[in-house]
Amino acid sequence: QVQLVESGGGLVQAGDSLTLSCAASGRTFRHMQWFRQAPGKEREFVAVVVWPDGNTYYADSVKGRFTISRDDAKNTVYLQMNNLNTEDTAAYYCAAGVVPKKVTAADYWGQGTQVTVSS
């Protein structure tokens, strides 16, 4: 059974940093992503890390502020978020895909973790 379990969300102030974690189990993946969905908006892609080469890609809105990384020994992916602003407020979802090269396609989803940034 595939499981993606997020943790690390919370309430922070603008300018603060926060790190999200996603622990994966049940199978191996070709890539793992973070998406987010703000109230009243569609879910949007945030970042992805690809196996086995470790390449990463980011949405323009977070480039330079967010960093996605992985710990293969722990089967965990992280999203380090720096210089947060109120527009980053959203539910953040960990996802994973198995189709090579389709790095924004997700086959499995976590339950989400809420990030709220106050001004």
**32 pLDDT higher than 90:** yes
> How far is Cα 71 from Cα 18, in angstroms, rounded to an integer?
18
Alpha carbon separation from 73 to 70, 94, 100, 104, 108 (Å, rounded): 9, 18, 22, 24, 20
> How far is Cα 34 from Cα 7, in angstroms, rounded to an integer?
12
10-13 and 113-118 as β-strands: parallel, antiparallel, unpaired? parallel
**10 pLDDT higher than 90:** yes
| C-alpha angle 67-70-71 in degrees, rounded to nearest 5 | 140
**8 pLDDT higher than 90:** yes
pLDDT tens-digit map of 64-82: 999 999 999 999 999 999 9
Question: Stretch 17-28: mean pLDDT, rounded?
Answer: 96
Alpha carbon separation from 52 to 20, 24, 36, 61, 101 (Å, rounded): 22, 16, 24, 26, 12
